[in-house]
Structure 1
Amino acid sequence: MTTSQELLLPGTRRALLHRIAVAQAEGRTPSLVAAVVRDGRAVWHGSRTSVDGHGPDENVQYRIGSITKTFTAVLVLKLRDEELLDLGDPLEKHLPGTGAGEATIAELLAHTAGLAAEAPGPWWERTAGALRPELSDVLGEQPFLHPAGRRHHYSNPGYTLLGALVEKVRGSSWEEVLRREVLEPLGLGRTSAHPLAPHAGGWAVHPWADVMLPEPTEDLGRMAAAGQLWSTTGDLAKFAAFLVKGDDRVLSAETVREMRTPAAPAEAADVVDGATYGLGMQIQHRDGRLLVGHSGSLPGFLANLTISVADDVAAVVLTNCTSGPTLSAVGADLVRIVAEAEPRIPEPWRPLPEVDADVLELAGQWYWGTHVFALRLTSDGGVSMGPLSGGGRRSRFRANGDGTWTGLEGYYAGELLRAVRRPDGSVSHLDLGSFVFTREPYDEGAPVPGGVDPEGWRGIG
């Protein structure tokens, strides 16, 4: 019988083990556990040193800190998909009286609401949540540091507001809604708001001596939606697969793609390798690879979830120290090792089972002025359009069922593509958000805005 460990080549498995061994040794952390996901399932698990005297496996819980925010974002997007709210709604519409109601739900998800990074009062990560039972204890008298919508400024209180929004709309606690609507459908039985045995203890490692100090484990109370959760590499591997392909019991593939789409730039001082933020997900370019996911930290714990959608590879790394190895770098390296050593084998090409002759007629080259574009039919029934060579605007388009298509990405996201036909049914041109694409450069038979010089193309004598 083939085990998950045998789904990778021996050389790849050794390289993965070497990477986490270096991270644990050089990062001086009591234990480190990792998993790699490919094709929607865990294909490797590794750990270094021990928890309670034995090596941690994929079922040992660690605190995951701000990866909790991605779970909270899933709950909010689920409300949107059920048409219970709109991302453009101001918070006040659904959760009145917070003092931060002018911020939109989308701004809160993308950390562009202008709210403070932390809650007022004592250091909230190390203070019992019972001391801040109200939203006013989390926001303070002046919750805004910046104008809403003007800049990316990471905000833990912002996700506290989103957790309260979920509670208001659903009429249940954030923890209960999360369990019922995400954890149970996805089979994440080892993810919880409070630790369940077996779990790691959190430690601080002295910076100048090889000694440790146990860290307190506080219930975050009102701040729970920003960082409360405990989980395992086994559960987070399943969650990573969901964030790639979706699950209609929770969110569609289109909605999780929306979560992975940049919604805000990173703060200028924090930009590393082009980092941005989506809707509850961190996004960065590293070593030529687009990576999405989230990191997390709380006293005694560090966590990271890294996904390369293009490679269909994800990595989960968890450790129980306050400061130690840079887990975002470790996660990126685990993804790179697998993607480079065992590159994804593409699905075999197969012809379409059927094709609409009117759509097939549109395939081929088109001109936007003198720029050459190619329109291709895609296997999902849509079309794609982009420059025939080199860079430039390109997008996939979803068929609307009425002879038009809607752009899914880039400059043309949300824009309408349609074929304009003459009275005899022949195609005159393509209209893409008012831009005219013709079969010939500045086709004189098409209605090019501004007209085409009647003398046509010429040289200079």
Structure 2
Amino acid sequence: MTAPYEVEAPLPDGVPADGAHAAGEFGELLPATRRALLHRLATGQVEGRTPSLVGAVMRDGRMVWCAGRGEVGATAPGADTQYRIGSLTKTFVAVMVMRLRDEGLIDLDEPLSAYLDVPEGGGATIAQLLSHSSGLAAEARGPWWERTDGALRPELADLFGERAQLHTAGRVYHYSNPGYALLGALVEKLRGDNWYEALRREVLVPLGMRRTTFAPQAPHARGWAVHPWADVLLPEPAVDTGRMAPAGQLWSTAEDLCRFAAFLLDGDDRVLGAGTVEEMRAPEAEPQGEDWSGGYGLGVQLVRRQGRLLCGHTGSMPGFVAMLWVSPRDGVGSVVLGNLTSLSTAGPVAVDLVKTVAEHEPRIPEPWRPLDGADPALLELTGPWYWGAAPFALRLLAGRALDLAPLGASGRAARFRAEADGTWTGLDGYYAGESLRVVRRADGTVSHLDVGTFVFTREPYEAQGAVPGGVDTDGWR
């Protein structure tokens, strides 16, 4: 019989044990994958000197593996053991804010003061608050709010010290816990209800997250500090953070957070559509260039690890750590929950759980299928184009979408969404938001492509083309 301190947790009801999977090619993970996952979790618990550690993997929309190490009370932790999730709470609050946007109640580019009377931070837009570019201070005034029960009065004026605005709004990325307290107050103002009650009703219940709560409910872990030089423990307080609760109050389980990880990949029309969730995952603050390693979207942290883009959030409160990452490319997510005051080892474990599944059992791509018919006018646009002398290829995708990609070692690639007026809008890279237009001659034939004012012609520096500045009349030599 497996000892309580090294249990591999059973899967929740509805997850088949025979390898079948209603939604795709995958069911239960292969034995070698499960062994590798358990080994990584076990080494993380030992190296991190963590009283208890739970790890879980989500794939194809459901939890497919969960294991616990250590003890919570006299039993092993598992998929249903609650831990405090700290700043993962912020992503839940961001989902509520995006619901308000999708309902037309707010505009992300409007200042917070357009909707809420606040003493500080009102000049920042809602998008800036979501992405931590509001310029507000990182912490609330007074004592350590995460360990001080009732330190802040309910009034928003009690949040800030003498220097609330440290940077000009929109100028730099600066993580702000009070910024999310303001967003929680915004949700309360427009919903006419406590932010958590609105969250429970509109997000947690539809997603089946019955064990994500404002206060702990048994079975739950106790928070500990581990002595740096001896293997002894000190209990940490678990306080009600009051007005700062939207920044880090919630408790949850590995099973519930796997459901949330699936939502962060694909959305759920009962909560937010896939397009809005994808918008949340797009970088708003920090990234520069193509090789950025970390950034922040609309309530979602972004990191690049080992060549893989991960989206989600980390969390910590006194006595607790929490990690949730999803890899959109692999369709895999991981959750790691522990009960100690340190982020040092839980983060790498969560990253490695995703990597292990992605590498041991790589995603099987959807079968290639031909387009269901194609407009000859669109087929005419496909093939090679040249920006100056640099070759590009234009490909036609489903839904009249286009893909422009360089044929050389470098260049600006982008996907383009078809618009009703016959133009296309860039979705990523340098051309995100820019327009692609097909320019035709008087006789109706295609002259060139205009991509955000850049001219693409059928031949390199086409003599009869519309190349800005013209082409030398003597031609190539």
TM-score (norm 1): 0.94
1:65 equivalenced with 2:90 (yes/no): no
Partner of 1:362: 381
1:421 equivalenced with 2:421 (yes/no): no
- Please give the per-residue CA displacement for 1:127-179, whole angstroms capped at 9, x wherever unaligned: 11364221111123431112222211111001111111111122221112211
Unaligned runs of 5+ in 2: 1-14, 20-26
Which of 43, 46, 61 aligns to 2:67? It is 46
Please give the alpha-carbon distance, in whole angstroms, between the structure 2 residues aligned to 1:49 and 1:73: 33
Q: 6-15 or 18-27, which moves further after superposition?
A: 6-15
Partner of 1:391: 410
Task: Tell me if structure 1 keeps the 8 A contact 2:405–2:413.
Answer: yes
Please give the alpha-carbon distance, in whole angstroms, between the structure 2 residues aligned to 1:143 and 1:4: 56
SS at match of 2:384: strand
Partner of 2:123: 102
1:165 equivalenced with 2:199 (yes/no): no
Task: Tell me if structure 2 keeps the 8 A contact 1:106–1:279.
Answer: yes
Which of 196, 201, 226 aligns to 1:175? It is 196
SS at match of 2:398: coil
Q: 199-208 or 364-373, which moves further after superposition?
A: 199-208
Q: Following TM superposition, by how much is the alpha carbon of 1:252 offset from its aligned partner in structure 2, in angstroms?
A: 1.9
- Please give the per-residue CA displacement for 1:401-443, whole angstroms capped at 9, x wherever unaligned: 3321111111111111121122322111111111111111122
Partner of 1:290: 309
1:3 equivalenced with 2:22 (yes/no): no
Which of 200, 222, 238 aligns to 1:217? It is 238
Q: Which 4+ residue blocks in structure 1 deviate beyond 4 angstroms? A: none
Please give the alpha-carbon distance, in whole angstroms, between the structure 2 residues aligned to 1:164 and 1:2: 42
Q: Following TM superposition, by how much is the alpha carbon of 1:47 offset from its aligned partner in structure 2, in angstroms?
A: 0.8
Task: Tell me if structure 2 keeps the 8 A contact 1:70–1:294.
Answer: yes
- Please give the per-residue CA displacement for 1:67-105, whole angstroms capped at 9, x wherever unaligned: 011111111122122222221111111112322211111
Q: How many residue pairs end up in the alignment?
A: 454
Partner of 2:250: 229
Please give the alpha-carbon distance, in whole angstroms, between the structure 1 residues aligned to 2:91 and 2:251: 13
Q: Following TM superposition, by how much is the alpha carbon of 1:251 offset from its aligned partner in structure 2, in angstroms?
A: 1.6
Q: Following TM superposition, by how much is the alpha carbon of 1:273 offset from its aligned partner in structure 2, in angstroms?
A: 7.5
Read off the aligned partner of 1:233 and give its amino acid letter. A
SS at match of 2:335: strand
Partner of 1:190: 211
Please give the alpha-carbon distance, in whole angstroms, between the structure 1 residues aligned to 2:152 and 2:352: 40
Please give the alpha-carbon distance, in whole angstroms, between the structure 1 residues aligned to 2:287 and 2:426: 25
Task: Tell me if structure 2 keeps the 8 A contact 1:374–1:386.
Answer: yes
SS at match of 2:395: strand
Read off the aligned partner of 2:414 and give its amino acid letter. S
Tell me: CA distance 1:239–1:439, structure 2 relative to 1, closer, same or farther (3 Å).
Answer: same
1:261 equivalenced with 2:277 (yes/no): no
Partner of 1:36: 57
Unaligned runs of 5+ in 1: none
Which of 154, 166, 169 aligns to 1:133? It is 154
RMSD: 1.9
Which of 223, 226, 251 aligns to 1:205? It is 226
- Please give the per-residue CA displacement for 1:219-273, whole angstroms capped at 9, x wherever unaligned: 1110111111111111111111111111122222222112111111179xxxx97
Tell me: CA distance 1:325–1:451, structure 2 relative to 1, closer, same or farther (3 Å).
Answer: closer
Please give the alpha-carbon distance, in whole angstroms, between the structure 2 residues aligned to 1:81 and 1:410: 25
Partner of 1:278: 297
Which of 251, 261, 264 aligns to 1:243? It is 264
Counterparts of residues 433-452 of structure 1 (less than 5 Å): 433-452=452-471
Read off the aligned partner of 2:375 and give its amino acid letter. D
SS at match of 1:7: coil
Read off the aligned partner of 1:287 and give its amino acid letter. Q
1:377 equivalenced with 2:396 (yes/no): yes
Task: Tell me if structure 2 keeps the 8 A contact 1:4–1:44.
Answer: no
Please give the alpha-carbon distance, in whole angstroms, between the structure 1 residues aligned to 2:207 and 2:191: 19
Task: Tell me if structure 1 keeps the 8 A contact 2:225–2:233.
Answer: yes
1:24 equivalenced with 2:45 (yes/no): yes
Q: Following TM superposition, by how much is the alpha carbon of 1:362 offset from its aligned partner in structure 2, in angstroms?
A: 0.7
SS at match of 2:368: coil
Task: Tell me if structure 1 keeps the 8 A contact 2:390–2:408.
Answer: no
Read off the aligned partner of 1:288 and give its amino acid letter. G
